[in-house]
Amino acid sequence: MTRMTSIPAALVGVETNAIAAITMMTEPSSRPAKAMRRRTFISISAAGLGLAQLPGLLRLRQGSAAAASGPLDLASLPQLQKAGSLLLKNTALGPVLLISQPAPVLVRAVDPRCPHKGCLVDWQSSEQLFVCPCHDAEFNASGQLTNGRKARGPLTTFKATVANGRVLVSPG
Ligand code: FES
């Protein structure tokens, strides 16, 4: 008799190996090995697909929360202009890298996670480029990929404005 086992929501963050182990433990020991391998493969694939969607879903949820509560006040303009760039790792939008620019743009905000493998890019003001330290991808100030053997897409950008000397950021 086949027993269907659903994976509790509390296990969503658990390693795929642990989910595979749970699936295998629920199999009756008399089932043929071939059928068990197929079910195990299907279970692992389903769990993997579900986990692969999590980062995107979390970003979407964070963006929705920020949009609902209005722009985030992330820094003072003089502070940003003095530093040239500011990395804020834990905002409601996730990590945000602010850079100051000459007028009329003044400020820009990007998600610093490289679209290739997620390394945090650095702002090179002398070259006006975001540079990924892992595989040397380069993005211009607008977040567009300008050079990259591995990265394929742009950085995620946010809408950045200045009001009363404060830098306000909202989903792009
Ligand atoms: S992680 Fe940035 S180019 Fe690979």
Give the confidence band of 37 by pLDDT, cuts at 50, 70, 90.
low
Residue closest via CA to ligand 1's atom 3 equals 135
Q: Which pLDDT score is estimated for 69?
A: 75
Which of 97, 116, 130, 138 has most ligand 1 atoms within 8 Å of CB, for mutation?
116
In the chain, % of residues over pLDDT 90: 52
Segment 48-82, tens digit of pLDDT: 444 444 444 444 445 555 555 799 999 999 999 99
91 and 165 fall within a common domain: yes
* 68, 85, 103 - which closes a domain: 68
Atom of ligand 1 lying closest to residue 135 CA: 3
Give every CB contact of residue 79 below 8 A, 6+ residues apart in sequence. Answer: 86
102 and 39 fall within a common domain: no
55 and 120 fall within a common domain: no
Residue 137 is encoded by which pair of tokens?
Answer: 């991808």
CB atoms within 10 A of CB 142: 13
Mean pLDDT: which of 19-33, 44-58, 87-101 is highest? Answer: 87-101
As a whole number of angstroms, the distance between CA 155 and CA 97 comes to: 11
Q: Is residue 62 part of a domain?
A: yes
59 and 139 fall within a common domain: no
Contact 43, 19 (CB under 8 A): yes
User: Roughly what angle, to the nearest 10 degrees, separates helices 33-69 and 16-25?
Assistant: 130
Atom of ligand 1 lying closest to residue 149 CA: 3
83 and 44 fall within a common domain: no
Segment 91-108, tens digit of pLDDT: 999 999 999 988 887 899
Average pLDDT over residues 102-118: 93
Residue at 32: amino acid letter: P
35 and 74 fall within a common domain: no
Give every CB contact of residue 4 below 8 A, 6+ residues apart in sequence. Answer: none
Q: Is residue 108 part of a domain?
A: yes
Ligand 1 pocket residue status of 96, Cβ below 6 Å = no
90 and 47 fall within a common domain: no
Atom of ligand 1 lying closest to residue 132 CA: 2
Domain that holds residue 146: 70-171
The torsion defined by the Cα of 11, 16, 22 and 25, in degrees rounded to 10, comes to 180
16 and 55 fall within a common domain: yes
| Mean pLDDT taken over the chain | 74
75 and 159 fall within a common domain: yes
17 and 79 fall within a common domain: no
53 and 81 fall within a common domain: no
38 and 122 fall within a common domain: no
Structural domains counted in the chain:
2
Q: Is residue 105 part of a domain?
A: yes
